[in-house]
Every structure is written in C-alpha cells, then in structure tokens.
Structure 1
Amino acid sequence: MAQLLQMPERGDFDMSGGGATTGSFVHKLFECGVQSGFNSKQKFVEHALKMIKDPAWNGVDIDDVNSLIDVFWERNKDKYDDKSKTEVKLSFEIDGFRFYGIADRIDVLADGSVEIIDYKTNKNTISLKKRSWQLGFYAIGLQKMGFKVSRLTLDMLRLEKPVEMNVGDDGNVTNNGRGSGFNLEDVKSELIEAAKSIAHDYEHEFDVTGDDNNCRFCGYKFYCPKFDED
C-alpha cells in the first residue's frame, strides 16, 4: 500500500530517529563501503565505528554489526567492484499500476549480465513466496531497464549460506539448478493481482480481520475502523 497508493505508515511520521535497527545500519554501511570501493574488512569496521556515533543509530549493537561484517566480507569481497551499483531505484508500470522498489546491490558479471543481491539480517529463512515476490520484482524491474538478469542472491547474513538462484532465458528461477524455484511471468501476474486487490479494497473499504495477531505489526491502523483513534 505504501508503494502502490502512497499510503504512509505510522512510522513515517516519527522523525525522532528512534527505533534504529541493525538491519538498517548494515544496509547503509554496506552501501557506503561498496560505493567507496572498500578493499578490506577493516575499512568496513572503521566506518561502522564512525556511523555508530550518530544518535540516529542508538540501540544498535556494534559487536553484532561486526559479526555481520565478518560474514559479508567473506561472501562478497571478491564479488563487488567499481561496476557494482547500490540502492538501485526501480520504478515501472504494469497494467496501469506503478510499482516502486529499491534493490540493495547489483553486480555486473563477466558475461555482461547482472546479479541482484539483497541483504537480510533475519534469523530465520525467508519463505519461497516472499523471496519470489521480492527478488522477482527486482528482476522484472531491471529487465525493463534493459539489464539481462542471470542471478539472484538473498544474502542471509545470520544463516550458514546465502540463497543463490539462477535465472534462465525462459524466466524460470532455480536454486542453483535445483527445484523449489519460481517463474518471473508468474510473479508478474501475482503482483498485478495483488495490486488489483489492494486498489479494490482501497476504493471499497478494507474488510476488518477478526484475528488480532494479524494486527500486531500493521502500520495502517489509523486507516482501519477496528482501531478508532481520537
């Protein structure tokens, strides 16, 4: 809803800088490091120490950050270079709906195609549905910009291995040639259907859920009649 209909979430009005997360911190750190061409792990560590002094990052555990830097460096030190791009803005239209997102990083491979890398600090794996929508969306957006996308990587920094997927010419995405993949055309269709559903609910009011668990992390309570705020 935030991207399709520009509906702000509650946190969008909080300008205090509170609630900073380790995930946001390392995303910014890795963005700066890749853009600046950091060629050693120590440079990331030193830059993290500079960043942590900003009050906006209160609550971020520098020891936790350093452990994530270790993982990032071992996995990525030989992958990014001066052709890599970070925080790549994607904006495109499908069936009258404009979609918007930001890819963490894209690397240009030897054959001229690109790999999309998305950093995650989750402690648990990401479901196939969620990663197919996110990485599939990035792939569709970059294809519309003229890139040939051949690899998708979900860099799970707290898990033993990243999730690495190959993109075929037919749009089939497989986990290093194995099953449990998805197809980009299917993702496109699913995104369109989700957009249509959101637009319909926005125009005709949202049905109120009876399960309070669905509301725990919702940022749209001030739109919902279930939460009548004065």
Structure 2
Amino acid sequence: MAGRVAGKVALITGAASGLGAESARRLAREGASLVLTDMAAEAGAAVAAEIGSQALFIAHDVTDEAGWAEVVRTARERFGRIDVLVNSAGVASEGGPLLEISFESWRRILSINLDGTFLGMRAVAPSMVETGGGSIINLSSILGKVGLPGAPAYCASKGGVLMLTKSTALELAPLGVRVNSVHPGFIETPMVANVLHAAENGNEMRDMLISRHAMGRLGVPREIADGIVFLASDESSFMTGAELVIDGGYTAI
C-alpha cells in the first residue's frame, strides 16, 4: 500500500533531534523523500543515515539567507522538486522576565524562530509554485497563542510565526501553496528537558507543566509528527492559514 505522502519531497529544518527528527521518520515511513537540515551536523547526518537512501542531510543555519538558496538548489538537484517544507528549527527561551532579558538574547531567539521561518518560506515557495504547489508547515507553539511569564522572546517569536503563517497563506493560496501552523503543547523533547534541567526547581516546574495539560501528561514527539504528516498529505487539501493545536488541552483550561 502506498504511503500517505508517497512521491512527495519534504524539506525539514531542525531535523537533528526532537520534533524535526521524529517528523522526518514519520514522513519517511509514509513514503516521502527527505532533505534534512540542522546546525548539529553529526546528529543530523545520523538521522538521515537511520532513514536510509531516501534522505539527504545538509548542514544549514536557518538564519543564513544565502544558505537557504543553496539548500533549495541542492534539493532540486537531488530530487527535482520540494513539495513540503517543515520549518521546525527553533530554540527555547533562555528565560528571565522582560526587564532582565538581554537584547542580544531577544534577537537570537527571534532570528532563529521567526526570521528562519520567514527566510525558509521565501526561499522554498517559488520552487513549489514552479512545480505545481505544495504544503508549508510552520512550527509555532501554544506559547504563540497564550503567554508564559519569563519567556517574552519565545512567546513573541512563536506568536509571530502564527501571524506570518496566516498572512503568507492568503498570498500563496492562489498559487497552489498551502501554509499552516502547528502549535504543540509541552512535549518530551531535548529542548524541554534542557529547560527543566537548567531550572533551579526543575521537578516542580515539570509537575506544574503537567498540571496545565488537561490530559495530565506531557506530549510525545510522535503525536506532533502525526499532525505534520496530515498537513503534508493531500488529506488536508482544504486547509490553509489554519492552526493545528496539539496540546493535551493546555489552551482549553
């Protein structure tokens, strides 16, 4: 039986770990060919090797505009097209209230989470239009919809991804390109684990986060990757500018 994205080519940023890596595995199992990018070259290459010959890894900084052009060129040379873009690369907030966070830290978080998404869409969309359309999937967060004290830059960046997605969806819909955002709750990923480990009260913070999810637990990467497969597939062909919230009830409380 053909997979749900058989014949499609997906470009996934932040693919060396966490949600990016799990999305790559899920898309591969459903038949996609993959271009994986990340700054963590060794880990990213390992994910590509695990998937096999249908995956290509490219070391890539999503804030580098020239680097985006090279990634698109290499992907087209290898696979001929790009049908799906998953803007998964991102960093967590370094913490601290608005009056204490440095401007340097603010700019770093915004540059990766928001500027990287902007650059990715701008680089890949023309290729999608040229080859008949595609699906762009931007990783936002529940913290792009609701606030969290001590994370002003992260919330701003993910809120920006939400509205950037909606604006771009309206622009690209007539050209055959769909653009949607995914809003995970707190997920069992290295990013979340690192934040909890760095906190003085990590165990208490974890318990607090779990209590904020109506389902009484954190999510696992597969649950987000399944949503990404749906948005990448033709099953979501009438969706654009939408917010796919996968948060265990966090934003319902």
Q: TM-score band, normalised by the shorter chain?
A: under 0.3
The structure with more strand, counted as a fraction of residues: 1
Larger-Rg structure: 1
